[in-house]
Structure 1
Amino acid sequence: MPRYFFHVVDGHNIIDNEGTEFPNLRHARAEAIRLAGAILRDEGDTFWDGTEWHMNVTDVAGQSVLRLRFSADDQGIAPDEDHETTAPA
């Protein structure tokens, strides 16, 4: 079964040295989406400065087979979430 490695580059390199076996690239793609979603959910507040980060999925030979790219910008239009707002009466 092929082994795939999920590396994250977001200003820091998080290298997957172990990898995970999947039956095919389709399953590795689903895992990349799941993993990226978990990262966005858990670390999402840190990505709002416009800096691009990506996940590079490689095969056992180190060849890139998938790449997911993300960036997020806070446009400053929404009210500051740290301050309470009151609803109009």
Structure 2
Amino acid sequence: MPCYFFYMNDGSSVRDAEGTELPDIYAAQDQAIRTSGEILRDRGAKFWNGTEWKLEVTDESDQVLFVLRFSAEEKLDPGTS
């Protein structure tokens, strides 16, 4: 079973040293979406500061297979309705 590595970068890189064995690239894409959702949930208000972060997925030879990019910026003044 192929091994996929999930690297998060939000200005500082978090390397996946272990990788995850998954049946194919479609399972890796599904895992990337789930992982991104967990990261977004855990970042809370910090996600809204406009800083872009990305999740790169590579194969065992460190070839980038796909990248998910995220950023959000709050434009409303929280004190107004």
- For this structure pair, what is the TM-score category when the shorter chain's length is used for normalisation? over 0.9
Residues 30-45 of structure 1: pairs in structure 2 closer than 5 A: 30-45=30-45
> Could you tell me how far apart the structure 2 residues matched to 1:60 and 1:20 are?
10
Unpaired segments ≥5 residues, structure 2: none
Highest CA radius of gyration, 1 or 2? 1
Under a length normalisation based on structure 1, what TM-score does the superposition of the two structures give? 0.84
Aligned residue pairs, count? 80
* RMSD of aligned alpha carbons: 1.4
Q: Which residue of 2 aligns with 1:73?
A: 73
Q: Which residue of 2 aligns with 1:6?
A: 6
1:35-69 per-position Cα deviation (integer Å, ceiling 9, x unaligned): 00000001132121111100000000000001000
Identity of aligned residues (%): 49
Unpaired segments ≥5 residues, structure 1: 81-89
Under a length normalisation based on structure 2, what TM-score does the superposition of the two structures give? 0.92
